[in-house]
Amino acid sequence: MTKSNLQDMLIVINDMLPQPNLMPKTLYSLFFYVKSITSPCIIIKHFYCKKCILYKGIIDTSEVCKLCLLNENLFFFEHKKKTVFADCLNTNISDSLLTEQDKNFLHQNLIGDYLIYGRAIIKDKTFTSEIYCRNNKTNSYTVQLISNSSDSVMYGTIRFFVRVANNIMYIVFRKFEIIHIKIFYHQALRKQVKHILPIEININQYILLNLMNIKSINKVIKVGDYVCNTPNLLNKVT
């Protein structure tokens, strides 16, 4: 939640409460009250390799990076995350979360070492994946993709992210097939409802996409066997 959203909520809450009341009226008074009743916060800095963004933990060291062999001081990720196209946020995921199908697909399509990631920032937007596990299971992995080469539009889910040794980032993508003959027809308007697309999900259809070949990527809403082709700009993931 942003500070502006919090300020708006304070205004709404104060309008709803009877006057006078003890509810803080400003963010300053709210934070001052919270600090008076809570223990001091501890800032934890997470460090990443300058070159390949490999996560190194919460201790700043100058050891050699295991992925790209860079031997320099690491940087504090939060200050740098908007300077690169795609930054991985969490440590690489254990192979135990991958299915045999996942492993076979990687073996057939990639050569050499690679790291698996569950979520990533792409052009300042946070995306998760099917294998990303947390208590708040927000669906921010159903997406609309447009490629650089043909401007073709694809819909599907992000299975996971992959970074290979030469610092190239890939998306393992599970593509939806659009069933055009099932598109809704509005009788009164005498036209097709093209913003709601009927889909067929083939769980075995994986595609390996180079992130640099993607023109745009946006989250979309999926309900059952239907997906909305309008980007879901309200979905926020941290």
Q: Position 238: which residue type?
A: T
Residues 92 and 54 both lie in one domain: no
Q: Cα separation of 80 and 84, whole Å?
A: 8
Residues 169-212 pLDDT 10s: 888 998 888 887 777 777 777 777 777 888 888 777 788 888 88
**CA 198 to CA 222: how far, in whole Å?**
10
Mark whether 53 and 164 lie in a shared domain: no
Same domain, 106 and 57: no
CA distances from 187 to 84, 184, 193 (A): 48, 9, 10
Interatomic CA distance for residues 41 and 153, integer angstroms: 45
pLDDT band at 122, cuts 50/70/90? confident
Task: Lowest mean pLDDT of 60-69, 122-131, 142-151, 173-182, name the range.
Answer: 60-69
Domain assignment of residue 214, yes or no: yes
- pTM for the full predicted model: 0.55
pLDDT at 118: 81
17 domain-assigned: yes
**Positive or negative torsion for Cα 91, 155, 233, 147:** positive
Q: Which residue has the higher pLDDT, 56 or 36?
A: 36
Range of the domain at 215: 86-228
Q: Is the domain of 46 the same as that of 133?
A: no
